Structure 1
Amino acid sequence: MLQLSTGALFLLLLWFGGLVLGEISNDFSQCLDFFYNKTPPKGISAAGYQPICQRYKNQYRFASLYHRQHRTPLYSAYILSPADGKRPRATWMYEPQVSDHYFRMSQRKMLQFSTASLFLLLPWIGGPVIAEIDSNFSKCLKFFYEETPPQGISISGYQPICQRYKNKYRFASLYNCQHRAPLYSAYTLSSGDGKRPIIPWMYEPQLVSRQARPDMQPFPSKNQMDRDVVTTQAVVEDYKNSDYTKGHLNPSMHHKTKDDRESTFTLTNIVPQREGSNCGPWRELENEVLRKFKAYCKGPMYVITGVMPYNSAPRWINNRVSVPEYMWSAYCCRSYSTSLPESEKPFFPTYAAVGRNDPNSGEEIVPVNVNAKASVRGYDVRGMSLETLEGILRTRLRMPVSLFKGQCQ
């Protein structure tokens, strides 16, 4: 074995992996002494990893960059010193601050495990994005035509969520935890009756921990908010003073029961949407889809509504939540009236639309009606065939997207 001086630094690289949460702070500011020139490795996205200054008996001992989902470090950094004595027979320890809900920042010490008292830290701790249904929509396939989610969309970086409320699955969403916004929500439309519910906004506990309760929950007060909730998903504070409304992908008006309508008020179903779109042409589209369902659809209508990000650099609210450039929606109604008026035949069994969410975007996808009133000008919606929408999505998302199995034929 080779002996190295006390000034030598070791960086043990272990395993690289997906999305992770931040911990006590966003950097190694309290333990920079373990890095050469007090500079941690460059080029590793801090958004993906959790710095830990490893503290024992009231002293920092080394530094680790930890991957919470896989429960292993990416690396540890330390200063080597000549060994003195045998390998200690110490009890294994864990890092309390990884589970912030139970151990607050004032507790900067490692705790020992004993065989007589092993803590199982269940709700609110653990990794980011392991939704209740693991890596697919297996528990809520009924919201997709022929129980088949959209094909061709790489779910790397996305988390499937079976949206559960009051012990029942209500719809499905594909969520991007880095952008803190859904790519799409899928649901079956039913004739809405009743008013828009007044209900607190909710969040998805299982984006915080696999072991958390499966039902969406109302946000706690700001001073009681768990830091891992804030890290994994959008919160109400993100939208304050943002010039954007909370835009439903699955709108409450498309559901019959009060519980189904309430279930749409989770921020994992919400994207930043301009008021001119949300309260203008996009709302008109939602009303028109509901009208066609009531008038002509004789069976279930499967709806998928989603977003297109900017082709250029991402846009954000509060430097946390991704803003879409366009909204899109498509439906599949395989069983419909045999006596459709000629004017309605292009709308069955499928139809689609794209709406502008930025009045300054180009007109290559959705032209602007210059004669529209000022409050909605630039937020036009363009109706189109399912094939046309899929072509646009393939170009913008760079994925071979197919929304409905067999084109709903």
Structure 2
Amino acid sequence: MDQMEVNRRMSIPAHLRQLEDILWEFQEAFSRHGENTPPIRERYRHILAKLYHEVKDMVARILENQVIWKSQSPWAPESSYSSMESLQQALILLVLCSGVFCEVLESFTDVPDCQNFFYEGQEPLGLASNSTANICQHLQGSYHYATLYHRLARVPIYSAYILEVSTTSRPDLSSSSWYLEPMLGGIPQKDMMQPSNSVMQLNMEDVLESQAVNDDYRNSGYSRGHVNPSQHHSSASQLSTFTYTNMAPQDATFNSGTWNQYENFLKDKILSSCQQTHVLSGVIISGSHPWEGKWLRERVNVPTFYWSAFCCVRSDGSRSAEGRLGRNTSPFDVVTKTILELEAILSKDYGEQVLLFSGGCQ
């Protein structure tokens, strides 16, 4: 580092030098030296309301100190507002994920232990959107499954997991103590936390904004439906399924009836016949905004359907896959679907070409 560079660095406040170091470490994410190659399109990342002005001021300061500068690339957005918004989102992601607090991920592939929950390590295509967050569900020092969470509907689009032998009974845990995801609320904590945690209490306004909580379901007429059921896991992972980022409103008759029968079928029939079974279980939301579809307290969307797909890998290397589609209203029918049929239904509802098992399990 030459003397001119040393002088420049010393003139910048310490926290901005630290930010410059982070940006340099992740330099491949940014265009440099007027490069005009097409950028990778990234989806919008939510900024908590209380952080917006703080981040906007921070960006203005690092622009002024020439740590970064506005792009002259023809690919840059014409709107200075959208350009600034994108920069703010990128910086928040870099700052939060430069340390160990990365349970909410840019991509499931960022954490190999989370990537392993997907068949061949490849997450589904076509279900993520500007409104979803990738959560690698972490509790008591371990990752247990992966969830694609819809921030606006406040329900999981799906959870991905490996089917396990259930070794214990359902955990005795009051619904008021079920876990929440601190990272969705901007709290840099890796483990999911119970609402009574003092850190969660101090930031409850942002937590409430970012996800569903117990009061959303209270006296609603709907059960707290596990998307990834606890009975599909060993004792180490069962507790981790009791988080509101793994819950969606489910008709109680459907929950305890036809859908429960399908979950038992996976546990009692499929588990024993496969060396490993990868499961994707999710919902089809009835709308992304409170004026679309059915909602609990204008906060949590009530899905029209639950769906599930499993890929069975046998010891001889052969594979088979199958899907189910269950109606969350009477008559609560659960219909067997091929993976291609289920993908076609999801593609129609979510507006993108959906591929559930990108590794080819059909």
> Which residue in 1 is equivalent to 2:56?
72
Deviations 1:242-262 (A, max 9, x none): 111000011000012x22100
Instruction: Indicate yes or no: 2:277 matched with 1:277.
Output: no
Q: Residue 360 of structure 2 aligns with which residue? A: 407
Task: Give distance in 2, aligned partners of 1:294 and 1:302.
Answer: 10
Higher helix share: 2
* 1:303/1:331 contact within 8 Å kept: yes
> Pick from 239, 245, 250: which aligns with 1:262?
239
1:205 counterpart = 2:182:
yes
In structure 1, distance between residues paired with 2:128 and 2:189: 27
Task: Report the residue type matching 1:204 in the other structure.
Answer: E
CA contact (8 A) 1:131 1:207 kept: no
Measured in 1, the distance between the counterparts of 2:45 and 2:164 equals 37
Q: Which residue of 2 aligns with 1:325?
A: 304
Structure 1 Cα separation of the partners of residues 193 and 361 of structure 2: 34
Identity of matched residues, %:
36
Indicate the residue corresponding to 2:48 in structure 1: 21
- Partner in structure 1 of residue 87 of structure 2: none
Task: Check conservation: 2:119, 2:359, Cα contact below 8 A.
Answer: no
Give me the CA root mean square deviation. 2.8
Separation in 2, partners of 1:354, 1:336? 28
Deviations 1:278-323 (A, max 9, x none): 11100000000112223311x2100000111226923210111111
2:205 to 212, 224, 227: 227
CA distance in 2, matches of 1:252, 1:157: 26
Q: How is 1:268-347 mapped onto 2 (pairs within 5 angstroms)?
A: 268-297=245-274, 299-310=275-286, 313-335=292-314
Q: 1:157 to 1:131 in 2, by over 3 A?
A: farther
Which structure has the larger Rg?
1
Deviation of the 1:233 alpha carbon = 0.7
Moved more, 312-321 or 188-197: 312-321
Counterpart for residue 176 of structure 1: 150
- What is the Cα deviation at residue 132 of structure 1? 2.8
Q: 1:216 aligns with which of 192, 198, 202?
A: 192
TM-score scaled to structure 1, two decimals?
A: 0.61
Report the residue type matching 1:287 in the other structure.
Answer: N
Report what 2:103 is aligned to. Answer: 132
In the superposition, relative to structure 1, how do residues 67 and 293 fare at CA in structure 2: closer, same or farther (>3 Å)?
Answer: farther
More strand by share: 1
Give 3-state SS (helix, strand or coil) of 2:169's partner: coil
Are residues 1:150 and 2:124 paired?
A: yes
After superposition, give the CA deviation of every residue in 1:350-374 in whole Å (9 maximum; x if it has no partner).
0100001122xxxxxxxxxxxxxxx
Corresponding residue for residue 387 of structure 1: 340
Query: Are 1:296 and 1:337, in contact at CA under 8 Å, matched by a contact in 2?
Result: no
Give the counterpart of 1:196 among 155, 164, 170. 170
CA contact (8 A) 1:296 1:336 kept: no
Amino acid at match of 1:354: L
Q: Distance in 2 between matches of 1:227 and 1:133?
A: 19
Distance in 1 (CA, whole Å) between partners of 2:342 and 2:276 is 21
Deviations 1:153-208 (A, max 9, x none): 34321100000010100000001111111110000001112211112300011111
The SS at the match of 1:182 is strand
Per the alignment, residue 24 of structure 2 pairs with: none
Unaligned 5+ segments in structure 2 are: 1-43, 58-95
Whole-angstrom CA distance in 2 between matches of 1:384 and 1:134: 31
Aligned residues between the structures: 269
8 A contact 1:336–1:349 mirrored in 2: no
Paired position in structure 1 for 2:328:
357
Name stretches of at least 5 consecutive residues in structure 1 with no aligned partner: 1-16, 24-49, 51-65, 74-125, 341-347, 360-377
String of CA shifts for 1:11-68, please: whole Å, max 9, x gaps: xxxxxx6534345xxxxxxxxxxxxxxxxxxxxxxxxxx8xxxxxxxxxxxxxxx467
